[in-house]
């Protein structure tokens, strides 16, 4: 939907790169700068890494986030221009995304709670393949997966690591999660599954002492895990703004046709 409110008070954040810092100085001079707590909108200048960082930092603020590409990868960003920013913000369209909540229990019984906007991933920590047991909604669906790892991705993250692991691209508004193996050895032909976004996913590590496994929620890592629980956290809604014709929905659809 089109955003009716005028975003007058803008908070700018930028990555450390020279291109992003130059854009930051230019935009602050043109539009001023407000503290994020007092701003109507946060404008992020950089690449997708900065966008994920900004979304994490503002996860519970209900602040809309508008990104402009001044970094390396810009799938989540709009094109950069210093001109007409207020008009672009007023015309922008909103995509609402919900993060995943990861609850990982390690070998010492310590529980690690982290949110992921893109995906929760499990990886083998050594040269030996991981052995994993998969339960969905407390029902065993796979007694043993032997693989380098496995991931659970949101629609927003389906075009990131999930796609590189040959997982499916999911339209942003689809009520689905992608579960994708990473270099599966057995079952050899298992390519993963599409799950409802209401699913309660549990992944248990088998032979964890011999075959240690790490769990990662975006960039937050827990090592030597024994049990990882994943679910979509509907209590958090993050608002991303995109220029008309360049929405996240359109970008994900375009990715499916290879352009």
CB 41 within 8 A of CB 241: yes
Query: In sequence order, what are the beta bridge partners of 42?
Result: 11, 65
What tokens does 245 get? 């014709």
Q: Which regions of the chain does DSSP assign to beta strands (E)?
A: 10-14, 41-46, 65-69, 93-97, 100-106, 111-116, 119-124, 130-136, 139-153, 176-186, 193-196, 201-206, 213-217, 220-222, 225-232, 238-242
Quote the DSSP letter at residue 190. -
The whole-angstrom separation of Cα 101 and Cα 230 is 6
Mapping DSSP to helix (H, G, I), strand (E, B) and coil, where does residue 225 land? Answer: strand
DSSP letter (8 states) at residue 9: S
**Rounded to 5°, angle at Cα 14 from 88 and 160:** 80
48 catalytically annotated: yes
What H or E segment, with its residue span, contains residue 161?
helix 161-164
Query: Considering 48, 137, 218, 243, which one is annotated as catalytic?
Result: 48
CA distance 183 to 62: 37
Catalytic residues, by residue number, are 48
């Amino acid at each position: 939907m089109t955003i009716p409110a005028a975003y007058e008070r803008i908070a700018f954040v930028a990555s450390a790169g020279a291109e992003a810092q130059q854009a930051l100085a230019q935009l602050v001079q043109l539009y001023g700068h407000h503290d994020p707590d007092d701003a109507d909108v946060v404008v992020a200048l950089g690449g997708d890494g900065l966008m994920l960082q900004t979304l994490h930092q503002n996860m519970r603020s209900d602040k809309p986030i508008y990104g402009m590409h001044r970094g390396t990868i810009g799938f989540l960003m709009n094109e950069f221009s210093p001109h007409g920013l207020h008009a672009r913000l007023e015309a922008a369209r909103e995509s609402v995304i919900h993060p995943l909540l990861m609850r990982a229990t390690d070998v010492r019984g310590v529980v690690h709670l982290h949110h992921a906007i893109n995906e929760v991933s499990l990886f083998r920590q050594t040269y030996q393949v991981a052995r994993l047991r998969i339960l969905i909604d407390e029902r065993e669906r796979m007694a043993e997966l032997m693989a380098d790892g496995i991931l659970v991705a949101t629609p927003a993250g389906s075009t990131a690591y999930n796609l590189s692991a040959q997982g499916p691209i999911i339209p942003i508004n689809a009520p689905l999660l992608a579960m994708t193996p990473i270099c599966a050895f057995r079952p050899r032909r298992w390519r993963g599954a599409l799950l409802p976004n209401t699913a309660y996913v549990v992944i248990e590590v088998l032979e964890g002492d011999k075959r240690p496994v790490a769990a990662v929620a975006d960039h937050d890592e827990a090592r030597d895990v024994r049990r990882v629980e994943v679910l979509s956290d509907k209590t958090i809604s993050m608002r991303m703004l995109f220029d008309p014709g360049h929405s996240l929905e359109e970008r994900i659809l375009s990715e499916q046709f290879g352009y």
